[in-house]
Structure 1
């Protein structure tokens, strides 16, 4: 699946509608972002079961600001609607491939149980 450009609406919809979503926050002036772009695009071709999205932080300032993006590139990964990874910095191809595999391997039911337990603990 090709990489998709996300705005505020499509970002939220992608997370809601898909099991696994990985998002790259970037800007055209960012050298590390430009070097990482082919790695991200290659992974999107290798993993058609994952939605790969890009957010241009210059064009989507409200979205990036609302998510507290302070450094780029920043990667976020979601499984079953839950944020499971967030880190600033570019990765090599092999590093990113390992991340994608790790995110896909997460047990979604276990994630839900942990999230519910944390929420119940916070309400107590």
Structure 2
């Protein structure tokens, strides 16, 4: 599957309706972003079971701000609607491949339990 461009409007639906979603926050003027793009695109073709989305931070400034993006590229990974990875900086091919495999290998039952515990411990938990 090729990478997809997402916007503030399509971001929530993309995260909620897919098991694993990687999101690359980038800009056209960013040299590390342009170096990481071929790595990201190649991975998208290798892993048909994963959604690889891109957010142009210039066009989607409000989404970038809402996501707390302060440096680009920033890569986020969501699994079962939970943010499981967020890190600025470009990765090389082997690093990114290891990350994709790690996200695929997560014990999501344990992750959901940990999230529930954290939410229960918050003073303003719903």
SS, match of residue 90 in structure 2: coil
- Correspondence for 2:8: 8
Task: Give the Cα–Cα distance (whole angstroms) in 1 for the partners of residues 34 and 21 of structure 2.
Answer: 20
Gaps of at least 5 residues in structure 2 are: none
1:56-95, aligned counterparts within 5 Å?
Answer: 56-95=56-95
Task: Give the Cα–Cα distance (whole angstroms) in 2 for the partners of residues 46 and 66 of structure 1.
Answer: 30
Task: Give the Cα–Cα distance (whole angstroms) in 2 for the partners of residues 97 and 41 of structure 1.
Answer: 12
SS, match of residue 122 in structure 2: helix
- Correspondence for 1:27: 27
1:96-107, aligned counterparts within 5 Å?
Answer: 96-107=96-107
TM-score between both structures, scaled by the size of structure 1: 0.97
Number of residue pairs the alignment of both structures matches:
124
Instruction: Say what the alpha-carbon RMSD is for the aligned residues.
Output: 1.0
SS, match of residue 90 in structure 1: coil
- Correspondence for 1:38: 38
Deviation at 1:10, TM superposition (A): 1.4
Gaps of at least 5 residues in structure 1 are: none
Task: Give the Cα–Cα distance (whole angstroms) in 1 for the partners of residues 9 and 80 of structure 2.
Answer: 18
TM-score between both structures, scaled by the size of structure 2: 0.95
Deviation at 1:16, TM superposition (A): 0.3
Q: Greater share of helix residues, 1 or 2?
A: 1
